[in-house]
Amino acid sequence: MNENDINKRKLDHLKIPIEFDVQHSENYFKYIKLMHHSLPEVNFEDIDLTTKFFNKQISAPICIAAITGGHEISKEINRILATAAESEKIIMGVGSQRAGLEDLSTENSFKVVREVAPNIPLIGNIGIGQISEKNFNIENFNKCIDMIKADVMAIHFNALHELVQDKGNISYSLFRSNFQKIREKIKIPIIAKEVGTGISQGMASILENLGFNGFDVGGFGGTSFAAIESKRKNFINEKYSRDPAELFKDWGIPTPVSVINVRKVSNKNIIATGGLRTGADVAKSIAIGADIGGFAYNFLLTAWKDYQNKTNINTINEIKTIKRELRSCLWLMNLKNINELKNNINKRIILGKLYKWLNQ
């Protein structure tokens, strides 16, 4: 894929979710209810939202999930996001750093994140396609770490996205052997990250045994990358009478199911991404087993607005809003801190289709 193709794709991935409805058809967080406590006896402002993400403390279990990089507009979006994340002391992840490896002129769209956010946990990002290449070079993995001085690296599992995009990488037979080389040499934590299709319990066991240090479940319920590709209309192959991207836009395992799947086999860090929209969704995620709630779509919208207005106030306000919503949930449940909510089966009820998924 040439540099112009990558640049266009990165810009499409920013603009299409803003301009079109490319969200999954259903969000399973509506099937989780939190247990109300009629007499809250904790002081609202005393509720402690702080938690640790690996070896760094953050002000609340919130992550600006991987959104972008690799384009001049991406640089400004990342600057806005990182400045806000640093101000509010939360986690931030970057989009796939493949562009930064293949086109050095785009490196600054990633480097800017650490420049404006020197203290918060930053998550780097590279795909299974790059790890699975025959000429895989562990130095490229190190370059991704150095590019943003990453505290954690994510390897994203985006098989469906690769399948439905033009010239996607759909050969992963070398992944396990190449990942073992990484695992032997790289000392910082590495997390397995899905991007909208979720993680089954069997896959969670495989990834746990491979030596991943945590998970970003990236489940069904948020932005569909297949739906994005269907809008790009770039799957040009006259052999097919239908667009595979359109067919598979609702493929995947719901985010809450993915969180529960992973927690059954691992006690490591879990980031719940895929359809979280409010602080209540963070609370629900933590109640079923996650450690962190991750948001991409919310912050794409606020950062785009901030980019147009040359500010970052909308993004900062969104973080503050999510924090207040999360604190409100804890207060209404009479809980003093995040630990009292973690994986607490007495504090949540699972209903409807989600219950059926879990008990099928």
Per-residue model confidence as pLDDT tens digits over 46-66: 999 999 999 999 999 999 999
- List Cα–Cα distances, 150 to 132, 143, 163, 331, 347, in angstroms: 21, 10, 29, 34, 35
Q: Using the predicted structure, report yes or no on whether residue 21 has a pLDDT greater than 90.
A: yes
Residue 332, class by beta-carbon neighbours within 10 Å (0-12 exposed, 13-18 middle, 19+ buried)? Answer: middle
Task: Quote the distance between the C-alpha of residue 46 and its chain's center.
Answer: 29
Overall number of domains in the chain: 1
pTM metric for this prediction = 0.97
Scored b (16 or more CB within 10 A) or e, 201-227 reads: eebbeebbeeebbbbbbbbbbbbbbbb
Longest dimension (CA), the chain: 66
pLDDT at 312: 96
pLDDT at 11: 87
Parallel, antiparallel, or unpaired for β 122-127 and 214-216? Answer: unpaired
Q: What is the CATH number of the domain that holds 227?
A: 3.20.20.70
Task: Quote the distance between the C-alpha of residue 355 and its chain's center.
Answer: 24
> Over the chain, what is the mean pLDDT?
95
Distance CA 96, CA 296 (A): 14
Distance CA 135, CA 101 (A): 14
Q: Report which DSSP code applies to 116.
A: H
Backbone angles phi, psi at 275, to 5 degrees: 95, 0
Backbone angles phi, psi at 271, to 5 degrees: -100, 125
Is residue 125 within 8 Å of 95, Cβ to Cβ?
A: yes
Tens of pLDDT along 118-168? 999 999 999 999 999 999 999 999 999 999 999 999 999 999 999 998 888
Distance CA 230, CA 284 (A): 31
Q: pLDDT above 90 covers what percent of the chain?
A: 91
Determine the structural domain holding residue 220 and report its residue range: 3-359
